[in-house]
């Protein structure tokens, strides 16, 4: 048992801590120590096998990030090949005068078999391989790596904003957001490393050219001057050995350069490269059919190689016909599945009250082209996102948001949708399922081609773009979202803004019933002995209307019980409840900071507003238009200034004015919070940032 533990620990140390140092030491030994010919054969064979493994791994990886170790592997493989070049150069220069087998069987085989023992042919083949590797593959891969690294870094802010938007809309949780952020960082590191790793391949190709000429010139001088070989013998021996050595090294180099190009040029979609290429090339049989017709026509021209052209034309035409038949059968099957079943005629039954369907608290009506978004059988994800939104808003607001009833509406445009609350439309828009929405967050670096529109949730300028433009748009600073996110975010904003409309008496009763399980004495006798259920509902609605959660139902119920005994008016109870929730309200607005930046009204203006409100009675104050416009303008400017500095905009007024001023600016200045002096906790330090006068 003890021996097994020791063996396991030894393997762990070797694999985890000594593997890389051992490889580097082995490479150093290959450079310094002379290697026998057999060892060279083994290492050259291993080098070719390693290159093939890397190429195949690059092809079968579903995403580039799945092969994040590629830059490091590329460096190690390049160092291995250069070390082999040094070792083979040593043995060629030392033993080359003995014949073409001096450097091992692998180099001899490439020098004799691959190029037929003709060093002129070998030199031409080697030159072609170098041109392909250096000028075509390596240069293209290097350029793509540079551009990909730049665009990846430029698009990081947009991707981060998209993650934050999904998180705020409840489409993803914290763990998923953290995973996506880590993936963005890994993607940035990977493409940055690939930008540098491509230089290894480029340098390796240059080194291969230089080593070739050094070996030929050096071997010729050594063979003639030291070993008394004739000019022809020295040229034959050392040139064939050098060309064989160059081919043995250049083929793995070409494979690695191809692997780098394949990895950096593939899309980020999780799909096997072979399936992706074949699927996209054969998606439209018309292209294959036209190509086959052209090839067949060329095969009928006299003097052309008719048989190869006609055979390929027949194969291409048959393949195009087969693909067309498969697509036709798939379309027919889809139409049959979508066709409604015809019921047999039957006698209509008598109409009853059960036939009248109630109005849905929350409804989402979609055009017929948007049905796949909400149909799970067709891969639609909108239903899951809506469930996530309901869960997030319910947890934030403190009560259960009713289910969203989704149905198709043939009266809508095919790609339009509308959101209703109790049968009333509160939002509608038209979307494009095959496109993505690029939203301008306020600062972008260029314009996009597409259909200009506005974000339906917040009214920001936006453009409907093709899916292929996503990376480019993110690099320009746009926040790019799909159609599901557009609809889900719009629904989330409407539910947040109208949460008070969804607080019905059933929801209030559920809250009290849940509270009775933990605090039965607090709920006992509250409804209807102390206060009617409708009054509790009105107080909760007032809180929700000003974006105050009702999660702390215990504190709210205690405040209602105390205030209702003195003044049963819902507005007075709401004011007392806000005072009881003052710490929660301040933290919701300003966080945990001790200092509270506030905006105040000039005492003279406050007195005018109080007198006007008292004179108007319950109907509400009716201000002189010029005074109202001036006050509204000043409050809006101060709010914008506070938002620019990152501070909360908080207007503090007398208790008698708070409710009226809140209604006055609620929809026109949504970023301004209105509090009374009584709602500021004693442990908070205030800092007056502005004073609004007449």
Tell me which of 174-183, 336-345, 432-441, 445-454 is least confident.
336-345
Fold observed for domain 503-580: Helicase, Ruva Protein; domain 3 (1.10.8)
Tell me which of 291-295, 471-475, 596-600 is least confident.
291-295
Angle between helices 70-95 and 174-225 (to 10 degrees): 10
DSSP 8-state code for residue 359: P
Average pLDDT over residues 18-41: 74
Compute the distance between CA of residue 673 and CA of residue 597 in angstroms, rounded to an integer. 12
Contacts of 634 (CB under 8 A, 6+ apart): 692, 693
DSSP 8-state code for residue 468: G
Question: 1 falls in which pLDDT band (50, 70, 90)?
Answer: very low
Better pLDDT: 227 or 386: 386
Phi-psi region of 339 (alpha: psi -120 to 50; beta: other; left: phi over 0): beta
DSSP 8-state code for residue 14: I
Per-residue pLDDT at 216 = 74
Per-residue pLDDT at 615 = 74
Whose structure tokens read 């746009």?
Answer: 478
The pairs formed by 273-282 with CB atoms below 8 angstroms and a separation of 24 or more are 273/59, 273/60, 273/61, 274/59, 282/319, 282/323
Residue 599: closest CA among 653, 562, 552? 653
In this prediction the pTM is: 0.55
Compute the distance between CA of residue 145 and CA of residue 136 in angstroms, rounded to an integer. 14
Q: What is the pLDDT of residues 384-429, one digit of tens each?
A: 889 889 999 999 999 999 999 998 888 889 999 999 999 899 999 9
- CATH topology of 357-498 equal to that of 591-694? no
What tokens were used for 227? 């070993």
Q: What is the pLDDT of residues 77-115, one digit of tens each?
A: 888 878 887 887 777 777 766 665 666 677 777 666 555
Q: What is the pLDDT of residues 512-555, one digit of tens each?
A: 999 999 988 888 888 888 899 999 999 999 999 998 999 999 99
Residue 86: closest CA among 126, 46, 27, 141? 27
Superfamily per CATH, domain 591-694: FHIPEP family, domain 4 (3.40.50.12790)
Question: 72 falls in which pLDDT band (50, 70, 90)?
Answer: confident
Report residue 595: phi and psi, to 5°: -90, 135
Quick check: helix, strand or coil at residue 366? strand
Q: What is the pLDDT of residues 21-31, one digit of tens each?
A: 777 777 777 77
Per-residue pLDDT at 606 = 87
CA dihedral 442, 447, 451, 457 (to 10 degrees): -10
Is 633's pLDDT higher than 60?
yes
Average pLDDT over residues 145-174: 71
Measured CA angle at 651 (ends 631, 608), to 5 deg:
45
What tokens were used for 254? 């070409």
The 10 Å Cβ neighbour count of residue 252 is 25
Is 275's pLDDT higher than 70?
no
Element (H, E) at 565: helix 553-566
Tell me which of 71-75, 572-576, 622-626, 690-694 is least confident.
622-626
Quick check: helix, strand or coil at residue 200? helix
Compute the distance between CA of residue 101 and CA of residue 92 in angstroms, rounded to an integer. 10
Q: Where are the domains of the chain?
A: 1-32, 34-271, 282-326, 357-498, 503-580, 591-694
Compute the distance between CA of residue 613 and CA of residue 142 in angstroms, rounded to an integer. 73
Alpha carbon separation from 77 to 72, 316, 561 (Å, rounded): 9, 40, 77
Dihedral (CA of 677, 679, 685, 690) sign = negative
Instruction: Yes or no: say if 199 and 257 are a contact pair by the CB < 8 Å rule.
Output: no
Average pLDDT over residues 458-481: 90
Length of the chain, please? 694
Quick check: helix, strand or coil at residue 417? strand
Q: Calculate the average pLDDT of the chain.
A: 80
Tell me which of 161-175, 439-453, 675-689 is least confident.
161-175
Fold observed for domain 357-498: Glutaredoxin (3.40.30)
Per-residue pLDDT at 2 = 44
Is 511's pLDDT higher than 60?
yes
Number of H helices, E strands in the chain: 25, 12
300-318 b/e (C-beta count within 10 Å ≥ 16 → b): eeeeeeeeebbebbeebbe
Is 204's pLDDT higher than 80?
no
């Amino acid at each position: 048992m003890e021996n097994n533990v020791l063996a396991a620990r030894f393997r762990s140390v070797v694999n985890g801590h000594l593997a890389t140092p051992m490889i580097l030491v082995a490479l150093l030994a290959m450079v310094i120590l002379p290697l026998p010919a057999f060892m060279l054969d083994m290492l050259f064979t291993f080098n070719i096998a390693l290159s093939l493994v890397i190429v195949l791994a690059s092809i079968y990886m579903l995403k580039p990030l799945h092969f994040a170790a590629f830059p490091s592997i590329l460096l190690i493989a390049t160092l291995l090949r250069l070390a082999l070049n040094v070792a083979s150069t040593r043995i060629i220069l030392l033993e080359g005068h003995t014949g073409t087998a001096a450097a091992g069987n692998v180099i001899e085989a490439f020098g004799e078999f691959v190029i037929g023992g003709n060093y002129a042919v070998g030199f031409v083949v080697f030159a072609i391989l170098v041109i392909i590797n250096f000028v075509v593959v390596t240069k293209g891969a290097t350029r793509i790596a540079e551009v990909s690294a730049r665009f990846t870094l430029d698009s990081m802010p947009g991707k981060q904003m998209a993650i934050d938007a999904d998180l705020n809309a409840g489409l993803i949780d914290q763990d998923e957001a953290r995973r996506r952020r880590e993936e963005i960082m890994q993607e940035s590191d990977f493409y940055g490393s690939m930008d540098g790793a491509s230089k290894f391949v480029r340098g390796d190709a240059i080194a291969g050219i230089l080593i070739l000429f050094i070996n030929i010139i050096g071997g010729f001088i050594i063979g003639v001057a030291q070993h008394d070989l004739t000019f022809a013998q020295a040229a034959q021996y050392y040139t064939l050995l050098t060309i064989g050595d160059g081919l043995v090294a250049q083929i793995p180099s070409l494979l690695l350069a191809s692997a780098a190009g394949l990895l950096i040029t593939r899309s980020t979609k999780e799909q096997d490269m072979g399936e992706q290429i074949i699927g996209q090339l054969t998606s439209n049989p018309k292209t294959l059919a036209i190509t086959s017709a052209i090839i067949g026509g060329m095969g009928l021209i006299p003097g052309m190689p008719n048989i190869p052209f006609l055979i390929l034309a027949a194969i291409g035409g048959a393949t195009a016909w087969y693909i067309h038949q498969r697509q036709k059968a798939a379309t027919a099957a889809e139409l049959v599945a979508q066709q409604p079943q015809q019921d047999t005629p039957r006698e209509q039954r008598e109409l009853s009250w059960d036939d009248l369907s109630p109005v849905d608290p929350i409804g989402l009506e979609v055009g017929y082209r948007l049905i796949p978004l909400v149909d799970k059988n067709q891969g639609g994800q909108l239903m899951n996102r809506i469930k996530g939104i309901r869960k997030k808003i319910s947890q934030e607001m403190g009560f259960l948001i009713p289910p969203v009833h989704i149905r198709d509406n043939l009266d809508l445009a095919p790609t339009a949708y509308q959101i209703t609350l109790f049968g009333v439309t509160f939002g509608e828009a038209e979307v494009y399922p095959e496109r993505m929405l690029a939203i301008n967050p306020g600062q972008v670096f260029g314009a996009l081609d597409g259909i200009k529109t506005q974000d339906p949730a917040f009214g920001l300028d936006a453009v409907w773009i093709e899916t292929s433009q996503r990376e480019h748009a993110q690099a320009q600073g746009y926040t790019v979202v799909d159609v599901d996110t557009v609809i889900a975010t719009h629904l989330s904003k409407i539910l947040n803004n109208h949460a008070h409309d969804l607080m019905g008496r059933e929801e209030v009763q559920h809250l009290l019933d849940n509270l009775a399980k933990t605090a039965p004495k607090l709920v006992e006798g509250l409804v209807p002995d102390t206060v009617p259920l409708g009054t509790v509902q009105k107080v909760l609605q007032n809180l929700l209307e000003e974006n105050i959660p009702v999660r702390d139902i215990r504190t709210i119920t205690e405040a209602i019980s105390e205030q209702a005994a003195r003044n049963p008016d819902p507005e007075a109870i709401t004011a007392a409840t806000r005072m009881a929730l003052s710490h929660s309200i301040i933290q919701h607005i300003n966080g945990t900071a001790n200092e509270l930046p506030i905006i105040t009204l000039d005492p003279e203006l406050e007195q005018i507003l109080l007198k006007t409100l008292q004179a108007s009675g319950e109907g509400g104050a009716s201000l002189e238009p010029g005074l109202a416009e001036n006050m509204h303008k000043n409050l809006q400017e101060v709010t914008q200034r506070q938002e620019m500095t990152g501070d909360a905009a908080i207007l503090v007024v007398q208790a008698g004015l708070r409710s009226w001023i809140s209604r006055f600016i609620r929809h026109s200045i949504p970023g301004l919070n209105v509090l009374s002096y009584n709602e500021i906790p004693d442990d908070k330090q205030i800092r007056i940032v502005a004073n609004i006068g007449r």
